[in-house]
Structure 1
Amino acid sequence: MTLAILCSGQGRQHPGMFVLTGHAPAAAFLFAHAATLLGGRDPREIVRTETSEALHHNRISQILCTLQALAAATALRDALPDRLIVAGYSVGEVAAWGVAGLLDMTDALDLVAQRAEIMDAASPPGDGLLFVRGLSRDAIDGLCARHDAAVAIVNPGDAFVIGGNGVALGALSDEAKALNAARVVRVPVEVASHTKRLAAASPAFRDSLGKVAPGHPRTGTRLLSGIDGAPVLDVASGLDKLAAQISQTVRWAACLQGCIEGGATAFLELGPGPALSEMAAGAYPGTPARSLDDFRTLQGASAWLARYAPR
């Protein structure tokens, strides 16, 4: 059996996101390290007490989401099968490198903090992201051309995330609704990730990646790149792609296809939220797909793994 681990991106942070992972002894070092990046504040306390708006600020958001993925993988380590495919959505791709063993997990946390700072510095004021589902790619490209926007993420089933200036996205949203898009909603992200509007951020983040010594991949693990869904076969070129995805389109539909082509027999999203597992279930209904948020205990998640992705 081969398990596809999906590392979530920003947008689904919530007060209970660390209920399962926050007290796992194996993950304690990750929460301690994350606190050093958050002004000494315990991330478990932050998600319980901060407003939703505060949890979606770019830097804190990237740290919290990466922490959840790394903590979940660490807490479930003994339950994971020998064969893994790992893919990450947006900032989740940095976490995926940590889960796959190619980055030290504390290094991954440091890197996402730097990534957020680099992106914030490069981002034009007022930029953001918009989700649109139910229009063709040709229609989406036309909307982007008319409103100086760009496709940031390609999801399965004619679903797209679009990046641009906030005012322009508002006008694009109105036009998408007039074209009878099935769903149009702003994404709670403060930068136009994965578009050329962050072109200056990619080389700066590549410099940060170059200062960290890569690790050795976990045996039996395949890591996928977000910009094309291809396996990372060479660390240097993989790091090039990891930096490039800040300002290039993420092809998430290709990543899910890459999981299936690699032999995935089940999907587990590490969270926060079930967005990626729901996409996987919709695109590949014959393959079991769950999010860690679906379970009430780590033991429940381990039991599901034992059934659908045994060691």
Structure 2
Amino acid sequence: MKLGFLYAGQGSQHPGMGADLYEAYPAFREVLDQAAAQVDFDLKQVSFTDPDGVLTQTRYTQPCMVAFAAGVTALLREKGIVPAVAAGLSLGEYSALHAAGVFDAATAVKLVAFRGKAMEQAAADRESAMVAVLNLDRAPLQEACDAASDLGCVVICNYNCPGQLVIGGDKAAVEKAAAIAKEKGARRCLPLKVSGPFHTPLMAPAGDALADYFKTVTFAEPQIPVLFNCLGDVKDDTVTIPELLVKQVQSSVFMEDSIRTMASMGVDAIVEIGPGKALSGFVKKTVPQVPVTAVETAADVEDLAETLKELVKENEQ
């Protein structure tokens, strides 16, 4: 069976994520223990209980999420469940690259720990905002952004799925663009609780910091196709993975395009590796013909094995 793995991005984190998996599965536990040794805080405590309420802060969120994803990937691999193609939303792209063999789990966690701090620093002392815009097409929303650009930077930073786009940038410009979007027919404009204008040109300082840091990292060739956020597709030989990751942090995320590309590659099913089920919702709205299953808990792991068995039986009939 040909599977596509989709890895969740920042925003779906919550205290308790991975706690039951850590207790139940040695494969998950081993990865998380290795990941915890790569950071300067108690990764397991923050992930499992978050007593100080810091999990929503970017510098903590990113390594915790990637450690969780790497642990689930290792656990599924142990059960013979592996991807034929991988992608991830923003932060999740690092987990997809890990799944493809570009770097090991420890390196992935160190990379995103650095990335999280760089993104926080880029967003510091800047009044910014991100807003989800529902039920408005790309073209009129782009017109709204263009019309509001006199107040600062505002761009479409996430193309999530049909009917759900996200704009971000300077707060005043984003608010003006959202108001214009409503005039153009958007059903709702929902402010997002984020700590910075992610995937906008305002993140250029984080991109510069990553470019320097990547010079110290070895990137192996992917063993499976990876669909990149800023392309919505696989890369060609004219660009490197580090270049795409530098671009990713300050450019739009084409999640809908990536999902469509994954479906066009003939996957029989898509597995979302959480926490959360946001990407499963995107898949259902974008390629409803492709079955999708979210994996976050120990129960989900066992259910996935059974679900895949049933899909195999259906395909054989």
Q: TM-score, normalised by structure 2?
A: 0.87
Partner amino acid for 1:61?
Answer: T
Q: Give 1:206's aligned residue.
A: 211
Q: Give 2:192's aligned residue.
A: 187
- What is the rounded CA distance, in whole Å, between the counterparts of 1:298 and 1:235 in structure 2? 38
Partner amino acid for 2:44?
Answer: P
Bigger RCO (CA 8 Å, 6+ sep): 1
Instruction: Indicate which of 227, 234, 238 corresponds to 2:230.
Output: 227
Q: 1:92 offset after TM fit, Å?
A: 0.7
Task: Structure 1: give runs of 5+ residues left out of the alignment.
Answer: none
1:75–1:82 CA distance, 2 compared to 1 (3 A):
closer
Q: Is the 8 A contact 2:268 2:291 kept in 1?
A: yes
Q: Is the 8 A contact 1:2 1:81 kept in 2?
A: no
Q: 1:133 offset after TM fit, Å?
A: 1.5
Q: Is the 8 A contact 1:21 1:75 kept in 2?
A: no
What's the secondary structure of 2:84's corresponding residue?
A: strand
What's the secondary structure of 1:204's corresponding residue?
A: helix
Task: Structure 2: give runs of 5+ residues left out of the alignment.
Answer: none
- What is the rounded CA distance, in whole Å, between the counterparts of 1:285 and 1:197 in structure 2? 35
Listed one character per residue, the Cα deviations across residues 118-175 of structure 1 (whole Å, up to 9, x for unaligned) are: 2222235232321111112222112212333111111221321111123443444444
Most deviating of 38-47 and 201-210 = 38-47
Listed one character per residue, the Cα deviations across residues 190-230 of structure 1 (whole Å, up to 9, x for unaligned) are: 11111111123223212222311123534xx2111111122
Partner amino acid for 1:268?
Answer: V
What's the secondary structure of 1:184's corresponding residue?
A: strand
Q: Give 2:279's aligned residue.
A: 276
Q: Give 1:266's aligned residue.
A: 269
Residue 74, structure 1, aligned to residue 74, structure 2: yes
Q: Is the 8 A contact 2:3 2:269 kept in 1?
A: yes
Report the count of equivalent residues. Answer: 307
Q: Give 2:107's aligned residue.
A: 107
RMSD of aligned Cα (Å): 2.5
Instruction: Indicate which of 286, 291, 297 corresponds to 1:288.
Output: 291
Q: 1:246 offset after TM fit, Å?
A: 0.7
Most deviating of 200-209 and 151-160 = 200-209
1:97–1:43 CA distance, 2 compared to 1 (3 A):
same
Q: 1:281 offset after TM fit, Å?
A: 1.4
Q: Give 2:254's aligned residue.
A: 251
- What is the rounded CA distance, in whole Å, between the counterparts of 2:146 and 2:195 in structure 1? 21
Partner amino acid for 1:137?
Answer: R
Q: 1:180 offset after TM fit, Å?
A: 4.2
Q: 1:9 offset after TM fit, Å?
A: 0.6
Most deviating of 207-216 and 2-11 = 207-216
Q: Is the 8 A contact 2:32 2:68 kept in 1?
A: no
Q: Give 2:308's aligned residue.
A: 305
What's the secondary structure of 1:199's corresponding residue?
A: helix
What's the secondary structure of 2:49's corresponding residue?
A: helix
1:136–1:40 CA distance, 2 compared to 1 (3 A):
closer
